[in-house]
Amino acid sequence: MIDGAPKSPRRAFNILPELKQGYDNLRAHKMRSVLTMLGMIFGVSAVITMLSIGAGAQQKMIAFIEQLGVRNVIVEARESTDNQTLQRVRKLSSGLSFKDFRAIQASLDGLAASSARKRLVPTQVRPKPQGDIPTAYGVAPEYERIGGLKTTRGRFFSKAEADSAEAVAVLGQAAAVSLFGVDDPIGEFVKLNQQWFRVVGVAGPQLVAENDVAGLPAQDRNNVIYVPLMAAILRLEDSQNFNKDEIDGIYLTLGSSGDVTAAGTLVRGLLDGSHRGAGDFSVIVPAELLAEQERTKQLFEFVMVAIASISLLVGGIGIMNIMLASVMERTREIGVRRAVGATRRDIILQFLTETMLITISGGFAGTIVGILLSQLVAYLAGWSTIVTGTSVAVATLVSIAVGIVFGLYPAMRAARLEPMYALRYE
């Protein structure tokens, strides 16, 4: 077939001969082909591994933020342990109080549920815990709804029990195991400081953040004992709590018609005014954190792909060098093919097919290596890793693009060789 001769549609789209020839050429130089693929394998596996680590970390954080409640607004007291700093703050503000709580309740439209919180760490706990001492949370019954708690055994305490400051308690999952092991704690008693509390329920597992989140202190939310708010204040507080805020947390849930972002701004304004700019509190709006985390996730993925793509770029340059060397080695072969009727398009297709076989094979092997590396990282480091379809698709598409971009120049160079020159080449 000569240049410019018409081709049948079937011949134009039949690349099976080129695939077979490309495969035979790669198989004839096994070691060189494998070494050429290594750049693609490392690059693709790096993309998938990095994205899986990032996706796992981001999903864990997003799940934690969602657990805080996207319809919630949380106020956390910033209680200083340094006496000098505390005295300076106290000249401006007496700390978070029930007065603040009532002012917020009166000012906030669309409020569906609210609870103040008093957090204490008991100096004495019986039965003796097997691990860290559980933290006591004095909260209202509404906290069960606000905090998304699910009782796996028993129940949460009632409004009547809270109003009368009864000595009843709901154990977090870790606290229940630490205090009672595998035994059923319902109906048993726990001693916090000098007070005995009857266990009426056990809460289900809660996600835990390893670091502080926007002013929300990192804490094991499973190693908690929930008691009525007034029971915590009247029964557990002692003389050492005189320098603490009256309450140290406020939880608010807005109804479906309420604007959570506007509510957060209003709460900040109210507390800034009543605390005279002391800066002794933080207002956390999980919905804002969630939106920010999603933006961070997209940026992180972009950066990780950009970094890992350097490996693919290096692999692509290696492929181009090998294919240029292959063109030089096979110059007479190219001349023979052109002499018997192969067109420039046929030569381009031949070399481009070989390049694509290398990159696709390397991409496939890199995908497998990347998935295995992700599982290995999760096992050895204890991190959460997630291999998403997006990461595999990105790695595959990039490997194909590298094959086309870096294989096109050698293929076109081969196609430009004059048949007479190629036949005389030694």
DSSP 247-292: -SEEEEEE-TTS-HHHHHHHHHHHHHHHTTT---EEEE-HHHHHHH
- CA distance to 123, 153, 187, per residue, from 236 (Å): 10, 25, 20
Instruction: Tell me which range, 239-248, 385-394, 414-423, is most confidently predicted by mean pLDDT.
Output: 385-394
Instruction: Reply yes or no: is the peptide bond before residue 127 cis, omega within 30 of 0.
Output: yes
DSSP-based three-state secondary structure for 301: helix
Q: Which range (281-285, 346-350, 391-395, 407-411) has the least confidence? A: 391-395
Q: What is the mean pLDDT of the chain?
A: 83
pLDDT at 119: 92
Above pLDDT 90, what percent of the chain? Answer: 33
Are the C-beta atoms of 37 and 322 separated by less than 8 Å?
Answer: no
pLDDT at 425: 58
How far is the C-alpha of 78 from the C-alpha of 92, rounded, in Å? 14
The answer on pLDDT for 423 being more than 70 is no
Burial 351-381 (b: 16+ CB within 10 A, else e): bbbbbbbbbbbbbbbbbebbbebbeebbeee
How far is the C-alpha of 224 from the C-alpha of 229, rounded, in Å? 14
Torsion angle of alpha carbons 119, 124, 127, 133, nearest 10°? 50
DSSP-based three-state secondary structure for 356: helix
Angle at Cα 301 formed by Cα 295 and Cα 305, nearest 5°? 150
Position with higher pLDDT, 172 vs 290? 172
- Per DSSP, the residues of 195-254 read EEEEEEEEE------SS-BTTB----TTSEEEEEHHHIIIII--GGGTTS-S-SEEEEEE
Per-residue pLDDT, averaged over 149-174, amounts to 95
Structural Rg of the chain based on CA atoms = 33
pLDDT at 426: 55
Predicted confidence (pLDDT) per residue in 239-296, tens digit: 556 677 889 999 999 988 778 989 999 999 999 999 888 888 899 888 888 777 777 7
Q: Which range (96-105, 122-131, 320-329) has the least confidence? A: 320-329
pLDDT at 158: 95
Q: Residue 173: how many CB atoms within 10 A of its CB?
A: 18
How far is the C-alpha of 141 from the C-alpha of 164, rounded, in Å? 12
Per-residue pLDDT, averaged over 61-89, amounts to 81
Position with higher pLDDT, 332 vs 21? 332
Per-residue pLDDT, averaged over 403-411, amounts to 83
Q: Which range (108-117, 266-275, 363-372, 396-405) has the least confidence? A: 396-405
pLDDT at 329: 79
Q: Which range (27-36, 73-82, 145-154, 369-378) has the least confidence? A: 27-36
Q: Please count the CA atoms within 13 angstroms of the CA of 3 that sit on its side-chain side.
A: 11
- Residue 367: in which H helix or E strand, if any? helix 344-381
- Residue 154: in which H helix or E strand, if any? strand 151-154
Q: Which range (237-246, 342-351, 353-362) has the least confidence? A: 237-246
The answer on pLDDT for 392 being more than 90 is no
Position with higher pLDDT, 37 vs 106? 106
Query: 5 pLDDT band (50/70/90 cuts)?
Result: very low
Query: 19 pLDDT band (50/70/90 cuts)?
Result: confident
